[in-house]
Chains A and B, each alone.
Chain A
Amino acid sequence: MNAPGHALTAAAAPRSRAERAPHERPAVHSTPRTTETTLAKAITAGLRRAMEEDEKVLLVGEDIGRLGGVFRVTDGLQKDFGEDRVVDSPLSEAGIVGTAVGLALRGYRPVCEIQFDGFIFPAFSEIVTQLAKMGARLGGAGRLPVVLRVPYGGGIGAVEHHSESPEALFAHTPGLRVVTPATPQDAYWMTQQAVRSDDPVMVFEPKRRYWDKGAVDLVGPLDAAPPLHAARVVRPGDDLTLVAYGPTVRLAVEAAAIAATEGTSVEVVDLRSVSPLDTATVEASVARTGRCVVVHEAPTFLGLGAELAARITERCFYALEAPVLRVGGFAVPYPAARIEEHYLPDVDRVLDAVDRSMAS
């Protein structure tokens, strides 16, 4: 299906503690040369700039040309760069990724759009058995500079296969880099950094944040951006470290703001990259706070939170005041839209974990 309606998006009932949320957004730096734009449009701008800078960059995907993508992320690019560089592909994900491997071997830098998270699986074999391993197999004789853009996550009231968070499957696959921006500024930077990387990079785009606005520096040099795989403290705090990425960063910041009104100082870390993981930033935070909660939409079982909990326990054991806690999806298929609010982590579930951690 294509971009789903939003009829159900607003259905989530206001929760007691969430009602008091001051609706704070992740901090973004603001200088006169920034432009206020949405996360989706920031990606468009990043793609445009990457295409201007390197003529080997080309975009491939279903409905990305004339339609501009079901989320309009590639809007206008085919008009400006032509049909050879913005390719409406046949309806075949294995084809999209498999031919991207070939194009890359020929010196191109394909940026593929997978229309929705749940539709990446026809390409799973090409990604895992070919794209991820080819660099190592070539033994230095070639690289695979392929980018896969994947709108992911729930909360948009969609039908099946349109709300999933499969990032751990790919983070678990050696040979792939996996990142996920949470703000328009990061979306702009990380899109370009992904294209510049000589490795396969999967960019998981938090689709329910596509319409979030923020200030973006569209003129500054990319070199001024933080490294692609660096985590970032988006809200400083002393009592507990709350780790989030992609769609849950805004949630974490909202929870931290409420916790502050209740006397708990929560530090929010936006991972930005799930493979490699910037554990140093998380460790430095936990070494100070002694407590850690990880929140993501994907099932907690064998998810990113599990990896983080293990690493933090290994490295910060003596600093820990409480076990690392996880807040995430359940071990069930992503449910029907009418009950997705009960599946997705929300402010109350995050605060509940904060309370439990603080109580131990």
Chain B
Amino acid sequence: MGPEAVGSTAAPMVQLLTPAGERVTSGDDGGYAERVEHLGLDDLRDRYRRMALVRRVDVEATALQRQGELALWASCSGQEAAQVGAAAALARQDHVFPSYREHGIAIGRGLDPVALLQLYRGTTHGGWDPAASGFHLYTLVIGAQTLHATGYAMGVQRDGAVGTGDPARDTAVLACFGDGATAQGEVSEAMVWAGVFNAPVVFFCQNNQWAISEPNERQMRAPLARRAEGFGFPGVRVDGNDVLAVEAVVGAAADRARAGEGPMLVEAWTYRMAAHTTSDDTSRYRDRGEEQHWRERDPLDRLEAHLRATGDDDDHAAFLADVTAEADAVAERVRRGVRALPDPEPTSMFDHVYADPHPLVEEERAWLADWVAAGEER
């Protein structure tokens, strides 16, 4: 009795753009195609532009790490459709609780990429104000943020910000996590809580098939989306390399949450095209053939193929040139911004540890200030 297959053919998957870039306009039973029916060429170009900018920031960050400007980088390459699609499905008042790889959602929420990179440079453990963008701090302890998202959603309920019918008020909370995270107790606990309290949470798992060196089969025995049923809410697997499908499915889940109908699990089936982080070496655990297979299924290429087939050739070329120029400019700004980030003051480690003064912290802060000053004379 071997484990059940958990891979791409093991569960039905919502797809609205085929790998060849053809649009699917009907046939799913969730009404997903209709949800995004209204999106035309300009909208799809906007999604492509966003994905290309995220890719470019990612490439730049990887280069900055190689140059010693960042301590580490966790690439989101391959997951741009999942992230841009999810961000596009959210309303302004919605909130996102990310892991550490949601750069595409962060940028989609308006975060400055330089702010994101601070954490990976090692100048801060935070780096932005979650209230400003609705994008909360990155979480490195696998799965912990799913409970935070659930608690936040319980607060949203208590504020009466679900089920009012006011599109500017009703709020959904997106809990992001990876396939590996689904093995953590806290992720299951979050689903129990969200189910029990009918909290407006969208559990958004980007199943990129790898948790560092471990494949899906080490984390789950049945397709993840099916797990939702046991927690009492629906689960859907969506093609995570299809930006339209992700936008449609996350949009439906978020609408449900905002309407007060409770949580939903969305499993976005995708692939981590890069190494786990810049410190990782994929050659030790996965084969080149697999990586090549997925390189040929690059989510950017899929959407580009669609746009190419849809528009006029010259127009399309001009569009791509514009995107490249914009990406170049963003990359340049990120490069300069990161290089210019100052190291924090040594005593800043004592800042904000407590809301109210704490005598031990103050004593040690004074000691370090004196020590650093004396060191400058030494």
**Interface positions of A (Cβ within 8 A of B):** 1-5, 7-8, 15-16, 62-63, 65-68, 70, 88-92, 94-95, 118-119, 121-122, 157-161, 301, 330-333, 335-339, 342-343, 348-349
Contact = CB atoms under 8 A, between A and B. Distances in A.
Contact of B278 (A5, A95, A343): A5
Interface stretch (B27-35, B70-78, B159-167): B70-78
B353 A338 contact: no
A119 B141 contact: yes
Main secondary structure, interface of B, reads loop
Contacts of B68: 7
A95 B184 CA distance: 8
25 contacts: A2-B277, A3-B280, A5-B70, A5-B278, A7-B65, A7-B70, A8-B122, A62-B211, A63-B214, A65-B213, A66-B213, A68-B284, A90-B218, A91-B184, A91-B214, A118-B141, A158-B72, A158-B122, A159-B120, A161-B141, A330-B350, A331-B358, A332-B361, A337-B71, A349-B371
Given A337-B71, A338-B121, A343 B349 contact: yes
Contacts of B348: 335, 339
Contact of B349 (A65, A94, A339): A339
B184 to A, nearest CB: 5
A15 B349 CA distance: 21
Contacts of B25: none
A79 B378 CA distance: 53
A68 B284 CA distance: 9
Interface in B153-197: 180-181, 183-186
Interface string B104-124: 000000000000000111111
B350 A332 contact: yes
Nearest to A335: B349
A332 B122 contact: no
Residue of B125, B213, B361, B372 contacting most chain A CB atoms (<10 Å): B213
Interface size class of B (residues with CB under 8 A): 35 or more
Nearest to A16: B378
Nearest to A66: B285
Contacts of A95: 183, 185
Residue of B277, B345, B368 contacting most chain A CB atoms (<10 Å): B277
B274 to A, nearest CB: 13
Contacts of B346: 339, 342
A333 B351 CA distance: 10
B343 interface: yes
Contacts of B119: 159-160
A161 B139 CA distance: 10
B100 interface: yes
A331 B71 CA distance: 24
Residue of A62, A88, A336, A348 contacting most chain B CB atoms (<10 Å): A336
B133 interface: no
Contacts of A62: 211-212, 214
B122 A159 contact: yes
A63 B349 contact: no
A349 B186 CA distance: 41
A15 B360 CA distance: 27
B183 A92 contact: yes
Contacts of A89: 218
B115 to A, nearest CB: 14
Nearest to B122: A337
B286 to A, nearest CB: 9
B357 interface: no
B122 A342 contact: no
Contacts of B185: 92, 94-95, 122
B37 interface: no
B71 A2 contact: no
Nearest to A93: B184
B219 A122 contact: no
B375 A160 contact: no
A169 to B, nearest CB: 16
Nearest first, the 3 A-B pairs at minimum CB distance are A337-B122, A67-B213, A90-B183
B20 interface: no
A338 B344 contact: yes
Contact of A339 (B71, B142, B277, B344): B344
B211 to A, nearest CB: 5
B378 A15 contact: yes
B349 A67 contact: no
Interface in B324-376: 343-346, 348-350, 353, 358, 360-361, 364, 368, 371-372, 375
B141 A122 contact: yes
B227 interface: no
Contact of A63 (B212, B277, B353): B212
A343 B214 CA distance: 34
B295 interface: no
A336 B364 contact: no
B71 A158 contact: yes
B176 to A, nearest CB: 15
B71 A5 contact: yes
Given A118-B140, A342-B346, A342-B368, 19 more contacts: A1-B100, A1-B279, A4-B72, A5-B70, A5-B278, A7-B65, A7-B71, A66-B285, A67-B212, A68-B284, A88-B213, A90-B183, A91-B181, A91-B183, A92-B185, A159-B72, A159-B119, A159-B140, A160-B119
